[in-house]
Structure 1
Amino acid sequence: MGVAYELKKKKIKFIIYGVIGFFLAIILIISALTGSLDENCGDDNTTSSQVTDLDDKGMEENAKNIAKHWEKKYHATPQATAGILGTLTLESRLNPKSVNSSSQATGLAQWLGDRKTKLEALAQKQDKSATNLGVQLDYLDQELASDYYKSNLKIFKMKDVHKASKAWLMDFEGMSQNPDQWYLSKRYAFADHWYSVIGTKDPVAGDSLDNANQDEEASANLDCASDTDTGEADGNIIKAAKSMTGYFKYDQVHPSPDLGNDLKNPNKTGTTDCSGYVWLVLNKTGFKVPQRMQWFTGSMASDAKGEHQYLKKVKPSDAKAGDIVIVNQGAGAGNNGHTAFITESWHGKQTKIIEQGGTDSKVNEGRFGTSFSRLLNGGDVVLARPVKK
């Protein structure tokens, strides 16, 4: 009996220890899973060996460095990068040292609360300041790697500047329920500026758009109008174009009755659009134009490349102040086309222009890359010179 009793006690102990061990194993597994979930949840400061070495160098250089970082890490499109930068610019002017005086929100994305605390923890780990540009990019990368934010990675593949800007605002910043803080027109203006800065190619000189190097031999055969038939930049066109700065209400109708009966001296509070404005300037300065404003950007580009009744296509290296830039998507009807005068020799996206519409509803001056940005992804760009009577 004594031996049997001892064996029974050992058996019971073995069972008890086994049960305890089983439950301990379960607890350890649950703890590990919980830790894993915590690491990937929302704003948590996930462990990363990535260290980006970038310092604040002012808004323009910061934008370029951020663009390089995102292109390398996410293969971001220039349009997406510009859109995201546009939204962030309104928040912080791309200044990693930016601090909101009322909320104490900090940095590029104006981090607050727990997110700001985790940004500071990462900075301490890297032995840097939380206002260091590289630290903030690393922390943003950590957030984008988390389950909560990783759906925003698709924004980096977008090819529409304004859509990317709005998507970042709504999805990453979570502002869909706060329309009073959207300020979309300001964000879009910043985004357009950054696209003009970080775009990889001159859309005319490059080979990515249809018109860049199209049918040179064929176009040579069509260029029957001599240089003496076209309007050299003698200053008259630009003088007349600038004299109308601030004129007109924008609408895609012309000729509008409110322009008055004398279209050489149109009513400055009248209504026209981009191609109507170009027509009014050329009509005032004595160049050939169709009767009663009967053209639009599609027909303007077609004439410049073909019949040369009113316009003649010129090479980017020859384009100068007083020439016209036309961009069309498809047939160029409605919002799918835009045109303006260039006010200096052509040098790509930074070329200065004067236009009706674009970045302002009235006649205004700007830069090609900014005013035409929404049309440059696949748009047909034509540089043309007005034809003299």
Structure 2
Amino acid sequence: MSPATLSLLLLLFALPPAAGAETMSRDLGEEVVRLPVTLPDGSRHALTVTVFHPDEAGPHPLALLSHGRATSAAARADPPRQRMETAARYLVRKGFIVLVPTRAGYGADAGGADPEDSGPCRRKDYPASLRAAVAQILAALDYGRRLPDVDGRALLIGQSVGGIATVAAAAENPPGVVTAINFAGGAGGDPDSHPGVPCSPAQLQQLYAEFGSRGRVPMLWVYTRNDRFFGQEYSQAWARVYRAAGAPLDYRLLPAFGDNGHLLFSQGADIWMPLLEDYLRGLGFARPGLAGRPSPSGYAALDDGERVPYLSRADRLGGYGRFLSSPLPRAFAISPSGRWGYAYGGDAIDRALDFCHNGNSSPCSLYAVDRDVVWPDGADGR
């Protein structure tokens, strides 16, 4: 069967989400599709793909996010479906349709075969595991590029194992991919048993050189100085051999982040979002994606918890009370369903909205940010 025929079949046989699927974020146009995919080893899987849509008419560029890999099977089962909502929310604001595949062996599929198992530390087979990941990334990408409101442009983004898989997928030079972005990409890391030193590092370095010899898609790599999975000497060496092999690369080694810089993508959006904003603007994606801070509304005094709409008295005292005692920056979001979310620290606005939307079919709005109530005066909140 030709690749074109296989791609068409993947599109035609996309399945709707199963009955009883969990609640999704309506404000992001979230939906779930199931794509049949055959991996290089001949095994067949139904790939779960979360799709987020901007609310305005297209056409839109496409972004595909690839998740990392937990060290245990139990951890790979949680969450049952990858959403990567904070990154997706940013990209939807920039006008992208966003795809988040949950690859075989993860989420609800974690109890079965694990096609990305690369073997024990001393006998790693990274190429086989990456072939499985790349096949799924490219299948989801092909599905997304055939959506009627996609303009033909696409970008790939991956973190950790999803990062090296993104590098491997970019080395296939898939049509329409404008750039690919690797956050802390690598494999075989374990911050507990061998912090900073991946298994079979020579094999990894050879792989990055091979990817660089084939890849012609411009890439951005983002690493930190205190990555406890892949120490900076490894990411620097990988960047050198990748670039020396002829591939275009913008490598960024950022300062230490928290106790483990490997977590920058999941916990440091306030750092990487502005970086990505500048990078994507240079490639023609000029629409802003950073969340704007609403202006104070004067609806109520910040510490007047009784005025917070929708919430029960217990949640006003508990949830909103915890928000008031949290450090800046901070944000609190509410929903007509009574659900709420708050966050403090980097990217508090997006994370508060994410927490509020989680398992909630009603829209969420910001009530307070930092020291200001931003809920609009006169809003229907009673």
The alignment's TM-score, normalised by the length of structure 1, stands at 0.23
Give the structure with the larger strand fraction. Answer: 2
The alignment's TM-score, normalised by the length of structure 2, stands at 0.23
If asked which structure has higher relative contact order (CA below 8 Å, sep 6+), I would say: 1
